Every structure is written in C-alpha cells, then in structure tokens.
Amino acid sequence: MLRMHDAVMSFLQEPEPPRGVPLSVLPGIRRVVAENPGVMTYHGTNTYLIDESDGVTVIDPGPDSAKHVQDVLVAVGERPIRRLVLTHTHGDHCGAVPALSAATGAPVYGFRDCVHPRIKPDFPLDDGAHVAGLTALYTPGHAADHLCYEYYAESGQKILFSGDHVMSWSSSIVSPPDGDMLAYYRSLEKLLARDDDIYLSGHGPLLTEPRILVADMLAHRQYRERTILAELQQQDWAVAPLAAKLYHKADLFLKGAAQRNVLAHILKLKAEGIVEEHEPDTEPHPDTVALMRPLNGVKTESGGDLSHFYTDSMRRFGLRKAA
C-alpha cells in the first residue's frame, strides 16, 4: 500500500548523540556527528570512518569547523587517513576538506563534475568507479554532483552510504538549479532496483530495510506532484503562495525549503511539457519577505548569493495550453 503523507513516512529518530567521540555503527565503521544541528541537518552531519587494511577512509569530512576536524583526527588516532570521499559538495559535507587535507595529505575523491567552486577532487569519480572497498553510484537530484557508495561490511551486509539523497530522519530538499526533481525521481528509482541491506546516510541513524522508506519517499513526491497539478488545474500559481497553501510549516526556513521543493516539482512538470511559465508576480509573498531578512547577505554553500530565492518565489506557472 502506498503511504501518502509525512505523518506516516517511516522516518527514524535518535536521541542527541554524544559529541566529539566516534560512535560504533557496524564492525569496521564508525561515525563522528558534527556539531551543526539544525532544521536541515538534524543532530549534525555524519562523518563516517571506515577501517581499511591500509588505513582509514573518511566519507564526508563534514562542515568547516576546527573542532570537528580535531574530533575526526582524534577518533582516527594513530592510523593514517588514506582518502577523503565526498557524497556531494554541500558545505555541511565538504567544508572540512581543506583543513583535513592539510592535516593528513589525504587525496579527495568526488564526482567528476564537481559543483563547488573551491573543491576540486584529486580523483574525479564517475558512476561505477571503485575507491578502496567502495563503488560509486551516481544519484543526482538533491545535488547535481551526488554520489552514493556501495560497500560490503565485514558482516557481509550490503551497505549503501546514501549521503543526503536518502536520509533516515527526513526527506531531502530539492532546490533548483543544483537540485533537480526529475533526476531525484530517477535516482530514487535507481535505489529501488537495488538490494541493499542498510543505508548509512549523511544525517540521522542507521537505516535497515531501506527500500520501504525509498518507496514511501517516491510515493510522497508523486502525491505532492498530483496536488500541485490539481491546484494548477484550478488556476495559475506563483511559487510562494502555492507553497504556503500546500505545506503548513511554522519554521521560516522550512517555509523557504517548501518553496524550493514546489519550484522543483513545477520545473519537472515544465520539463515534461505539462506546465508553462507566465509573467511573474510583481510583489513578494509575506513568507518570502520574512525569509529574505535573515538571508540577506548570506552566501549559499557554493558561494553564490540567495537573491534567486526571492525572484524564484514570484515565478508564476500554469497548465500548458494545447497548441
């Protein structure tokens, strides 16, 4: 049976994990949870440490935080860090790369078309590439340069480091243009066709029977798409008022995230030839006005400014008229 609402999605919670110490995840795999909790990051970014015969592989060094880098170095101890592997280049995953590279000399591995202006992987990876015991799986959608990594644990279980493509605690934001809803659907379908036993995600606890959640996520997005389409069948809509109608979020940043997700859904429908774009609204929605105040001057993770959030919120769309 398909489940249709956030309320019944099988997301996991966990108590706030201890800070500054490595937590055992599975034999040979530990995680250090960074101190960057938030509405998008849960308790913080998971930095995974995998014990290999030649040393340690680090998956997602984490945010730009001297304390987190120190915690990772202390957790690894005497063993050398051999490689820094990125699921994607959002700042909460790759901000620590410069400091950790400098401290260890370890090379950086990430997707070949890296989106980040200042991170250049020493070893650019393509879909199917092998790094130590990991196999890269190209999964764009949340981020254009997103890779998941397959790994066989000592126990024989098939693990997928799922980054922020599939997180155990929440759905992912898909924010254009780095985020792409059509790609996100395809990347979820790609995971549904696999037989992984466990996901280790960028935020939140270990996830067993992961395909149940992936199927829920896909069904939930399809439900969202149908509700957006139903609204557009009634009238034209700008992004911000439609997001306010469909998502009932109290938190200001979650309202902003809802706008990004609505835009991503509509751009998918536009790419499919179902929806067309009209002249934008001339006045911003009150949610957008409130949101832009704290965002003023804030840079995105890739260094751009956020003024396109403002203009995107006023973009208007309607059903494409038959030619």
Closer residue to Zn ion, CB minimum distance, 71 or 92: 92
Helices (H) and strands (E) in the chain, counts: 9, 16
- Which of 28-36, 87-95, 218-226, 239-247 is the region at the interface with Zn ion (rule: CB under 5 A)? 87-95
Residue located via tokens 């902003």: 256
Q: Which one of residues 43, 62, 81, 92 is an interface residue with Zn ion (CB under 5 A)?
A: 92
- Which of 75-83, 96-104, 160-168, 251-259 is the region at the interface with Zn ion (rule: CB under 5 A)? 160-168
Closer residue to Zn ion, CB minimum distance, 202 or 204: 202
Q: Does 202 bind Zn ion (CB under 5 A)?
A: yes
Closer residue to Zn ion, CB minimum distance, 35 or 225: 35
Contact at 8 Å (CB) between 189 and 218?
yes
Residue located via tokens 């250090």: 32
- Which of 46-54, 147-155, 172-180, 197-205 is the region at the interface with Zn ion (rule: CB under 5 A)? 197-205
The CB-of-91 to Zn ion minimum distance in angstroms stands at: 9
Q: Does 164 bind Zn ion (CB under 5 A)?
A: yes
Q: Does 60 bind Zn ion (CB under 5 A)?
A: no
The CB-of-185 to Zn ion minimum distance in angstroms stands at: 20
Q: How far is CA 204 from the centre of its chain?
A: 12
Closer residue to Zn ion, CB minimum distance, 202 or 205: 202
- Which of 23-31, 159-167, 183-191, 276-284 is the region at the interface with Zn ion (rule: CB under 5 A)? 159-167
- Which of 17-25, 185-193, 199-207, 260-268 is the region at the interface with Zn ion (rule: CB under 5 A)? 199-207
Q: How many residues bind Zn ion (CB under 5 A)?
A: 3
- Which of 63-71, 162-170, 189-197, 233-241 is the region at the interface with Zn ion (rule: CB under 5 A)? 162-170
Closer residue to Zn ion, CB minimum distance, 37 or 176: 37
Contact at 8 Å (CB) between 186 and 221?
no
Task: Report which DSSP code applies to 228.
Answer: H
The CB-of-141 to Zn ion minimum distance in angstroms stands at: 13
Virtual CA dihedral for 287, 290, 296, 300, nearest 10 degrees?
-40
The CB-of-302 to Zn ion minimum distance in angstroms stands at: 13
Q: At 89, which amino acid appears?
A: T
The CB-of-195 to Zn ion minimum distance in angstroms stands at: 25
Sequence-distant (6+) residues with CB within 8 A of 315 are 238, 239, 263, 277, 280
Q: Does 180 bind Zn ion (CB under 5 A)?
A: no
Closer residue to Zn ion, CB minimum distance, 92 or 180: 92
Instruction: Using alpha carbons, select from 199, 210, 190, 100 the residue that is nearest to residue 141.
Output: 190
Q: Where are the alpha helices (DSSP H) in 26-90?
A: 66-76
Phi, psi angle pair for 291, to nearest 5°: -70, -35
Cα distances (angstroms) measured from residue 242 to each of 29, 78, 141, 239, 309: 43, 54, 22, 5, 15
Contact at 8 Å (CB) between 243 and 320?
no
How far is residue 212's CA from residue 206's CA, in Å, rounded to a whole number?
14
- Please report, as ranges, the residues that interact with Zn ion according to CB under 5 A: 92, 164, 202
